[in-house]
Amino acid sequence: MVKHLAYVERSWFRTRLAGEPAGPVPWTKEDPDADFRIEPGETNEDILGFYREECAHSREVAAKASLDDLAVEWPADRQSEKRPTLRWIYVHMIEETARHAGHLDVVRELIDGKTGD
């Protein structure tokens, strides 16, 4: 999930907000969930480093914008929708990260059987 979150950071801040090229992505139409998988040759350190780099870049991009700035890049199939603001992107990223943290908590509970109070 950390790898997925790194690509989500890249998509929202680097590509959509700043209009920078996204770079290659691991998923395809045939394998849409490839960003949730650690591939042979990738390490936990690689994935964590990728996530940290994308978060650092996101902070740099956001520091140059105001909360009301609109995304500059928006998919062709969503042109009828209003482009999101940096404020909306922040809220979305909090939701996305929290959702996946919850998924990881469920996995941890399945492994160790411990639940919160």
Minimal CA–CA distance to 100: which of 32, 36, 45?
36
Q: Which domain holds residue 58?
A: 2-112
Q: What is the pLDDT, as a whole number, of residue 90? A: 98
pLDDT band with cut points at 50, 70 and 90 for residue 117: low
Would residue 33 count as lying in a domain? yes
Task: For residue range 51-108, list pLDDT tens digits in order.
Answer: 999 999 999 999 999 999 999 988 888 888 899 999 999 999 999 999 999 988 898 8
Q: What CA–CA distances, in Å, run from 110 to 3, 103, 104?
A: 21, 11, 10
- Structural contact between residues 83 and 62, judged by C-beta atoms closer than 8 angstroms: no
Total domains present in the chain: 1
- Structural contact between residues 34 and 27, judged by C-beta atoms closer than 8 angstroms: yes
Across 45-51, average pLDDT: 97
Would residue 94 count as lying in a domain? yes
Would residue 117 count as lying in a domain? no
Task: For residue range 26-43, list pLDDT tens digits in order.
Answer: 989 999 999 999 999 999
